[in-house]
Structure 1
Amino acid sequence: MRPASPVPTLSPRPRLSDFLQGMGVLGRAFKLIFRSRRLFLLSSLCAVLTAIALVGLAVLLYRYAPGLLESVWARPDSWYGQAGWYTALVLGSLVAWVVGANVVPPLLLTPLQDPVSEATEAECAGADAVLSPASFLRGLTTGLLHTLARMALLFLGLAVLLPLNFVPGLGSVAFTVLASLWTMLWMAAEHLAAPMTRHLYPFAEVRRMLRERRALCLGFGAGVYLLLWVPILNTFFLPVAIVGGTLLYRALREAGDLPPPPDAQADARADAK
């Protein structure tokens, strides 16, 4: 007997409780990884490489973050000035670590992301067929362009918020909160866009889902963000995010929020000819 589908059932209309359902997608992703031998092996390989990247990022920040901050803000002599300086150092380093964790591991694991997403769809009821080599190449090209655009958007948002660090008092706290919210939303876009790009959806469809299913997507992004801070489990954050993003994509498809994938339509037209 085939196990129940891991794809969540979404409400027909957006609602605030979708935030919790978005976070719950990560639990479904974990269960699916440990249920599927192929997903478990791929995720374990991703986890090893992610652990190396996260430790490397932490070491680099520990060694160079103080010097970088001193280059723009000399360390004050007064005790209250030093308190503010160290607060900015800690909060800025935390944001930098999260941003680095969302840039470096995905670049290292680019060849594994599509196989993990495809294996996830293979485990879903009514999963699509594996893409042809031609479709894979089209998706790879589109995916590279989308990834560069998404990374540029992430850094643009953080650059806009960066001057808050120079506001006396709660400026650094405001930067950390707003930068974290921006990163959560970006995480949702990044991992939802991966399976959508593979099926040749335009990035405009990703933006539409973020806008129309805001609470659901923000909950998913918040879950991935929080996972980064859990020791040991955070090494699995990328494969869990990829699997979770694929499950979210399938759920949006089944709820009728997304039209049929462009690659399937193209294949249908080709068969008709």
Structure 2
Amino acid sequence: MPEVTTLFGVDVTSIARPVTGVVGRFFSGVGLLLRGIGLYVRSPGLMLLGVVPALISGALYVAAFVALAYFVDDLAALVTPFADDWSGAWRSLIRVIAGLAIVGLAGLLGVLTFTAVTLIIGDPFYETISERVEDRLGGTPGAVEVPFWASLRRSIVDSLRLVAISALVGVPLFAAGFIPVVGQTVIPVIGAAVGGWFLALELTGAPFYRRGLGLGERRSLLRADRPTTLGFGVAVFVCFLIPLGAVLIMPAAIAGATLLARRSLGQSIEET
């Protein structure tokens, strides 16, 4: 009989089962992350494997954001030279908005690049986590043998490509952040959706590579059930915005991403 995965007493196995309707499928994607957390917290071996690379990346990014906070006033003045001759109150207001937009853009890019950097640092660790999750679900149908260095090289290239694309998307969002009201309400929602999509693409790399499938195939398969993919990715994105959330959630997100990849391929996500 398949084992039921619970998290704080809640059956997250049923939450992650496929459902119909856009909203239902979105929350089914959220359920995949919850189930990934459940798999992770019940496996001390996975916890030890996952924490080291995330801690290294976390320390690097904390240092970067401390530096950004220190220089954010100077950066806000640099991107708003047109306000130099404005009255003090208006100049301060526009530069506060600019500072918030800079921090928001840095947060979006930080979340996306953190994933890429941590995946590169922890590639062997996260590959093992993903494999162990698949073993609990009945193995990897269609697995191919990929040499370590070839896998790492392809992972780096794909991560850099995704980061470049996300940066191109982030620049217009940064500019839109200056729009009153819309920039502080609608744009963050769009940013979470965009960030969630790219996170889902990055995190599902290992299980797709294991089957000999590259970024193009990965994108097509995840796009086929976009609401579920976005539900998973946005949930991870929001968790990554919480202080230390990325460090704590990354290994569980890898487990959840393995479930998402298997579902997109029509393979079982029930434990055997």
TM-score by length of 2: 0.79
CA distances 1:88-109 after superposition (whole Å, capped 9, x unpaired) = 3123303312312321463255
Identity %: 22
Which residue of the partner structure matches residue 138 of structure 1? 150
Question: Equivalents in 2 of 1:34, 1:185: separation in Å?
Answer: 25
Which residue of the partner structure matches residue 241 of structure 2? 229
Q: CA separation of 1:232/1:213 partners in 2, compared to 1, >3 Å: closer, same or farther? A: same
**Superposition deviation, residue 194 in structure 1:** 3.6
**Superposition deviation, residue 165 in structure 1:** 4.2
Greater alpha carbon shift after TM alignment, 200-209 vs 96-105: 96-105
Contact residue 165 and residue 175 of structure 1 kept, 8 A: yes
Gaps of 5+ in 2: 6-11
**Superposition deviation, residue 224 in structure 1:** 0.7
Which residue of the partner structure matches residue 170 of structure 2? 158
Contact residue 29 and residue 230 of structure 2 kept, 8 A: yes
Question: Equivalents in 1 of 2:36, 2:127: separation in Å?
Answer: 11
Question: Equivalents in 2 of 1:231, 1:163: separation in Å?
Answer: 26
Question: Equivalents in 2 of 1:218, 1:250: separation in Å?
Answer: 16
Pick from 205, 213, 232: which aligns with 1:193?
A: 205
Gaps of 5+ in 1: 257-273
Structure 2 matches for 1:164-175, cutoff 5 A?
Answer: 164-165=176-177, 167=179, 169-170=180-181, 172-173=183-184, 174-175=186-187
Structure 2 matches for 1:66-105, cutoff 5 A?
Answer: 66-74=73-81, 76-104=86-114
Contact residue 184 and residue 222 of structure 1 kept, 8 A: yes
Question: Equivalents in 1 of 2:29, 2:167: separation in Å?
Answer: 24
Pick from 34, 37, 40: which aligns with 1:33?
A: 40
Q: CA separation of 1:133/1:201 partners in 2, compared to 1, >3 Å: closer, same or farther? A: closer
Question: Equivalents in 1 of 2:110, 2:91: separation in Å?
Answer: 28
TM-score by length of 1: 0.78
Contact residue 116 and residue 239 of structure 1 kept, 8 A: yes
Q: CA separation of 1:114/1:181 partners in 2, compared to 1, >3 Å: closer, same or farther? A: same
**Superposition deviation, residue 147 in structure 1:** 1.4
Contact residue 20 and residue 216 of structure 1 kept, 8 A: yes
Which residue of the partner structure matches residue 122 of structure 1? 132
Contact residue 46 and residue 236 of structure 1 kept, 8 A: no
Contact residue 165 and residue 171 of structure 1 kept, 8 A: yes
Which residue of the partner structure matches residue 225 of structure 2? 213
Which residue of the partner structure matches residue 64 of structure 1? 71
Question: Equivalents in 1 of 2:119, 2:217: separation in Å?
Answer: 25
Q: CA separation of 1:114/1:217 partners in 2, compared to 1, >3 Å: closer, same or farther? A: farther
**Superposition deviation, residue 39 in structure 1:** 0.7
Contact residue 119 and residue 126 of structure 2 kept, 8 A: no
- Paired AA for residue 67 in structure 1: D
User: What secondary structure does 1:199 align onto?
Assistant: coil
User: What secondary structure does 1:128 align onto?
Assistant: coil
**Superposition deviation, residue 218 in structure 1:** 0.7
**Superposition deviation, residue 254 in structure 1:** 3.5
**Superposition deviation, residue 242 in structure 1:** 1.8
Pick from 12, 19, 23: which aligns with 1:16?
A: 23
Alpha carbon RMSD of aligned pairs, Å? Answer: 3.1
- Paired AA for residue 212 in structure 2: L
Question: Equivalents in 2 of 1:162, 1:111: separation in Å?
Answer: 28
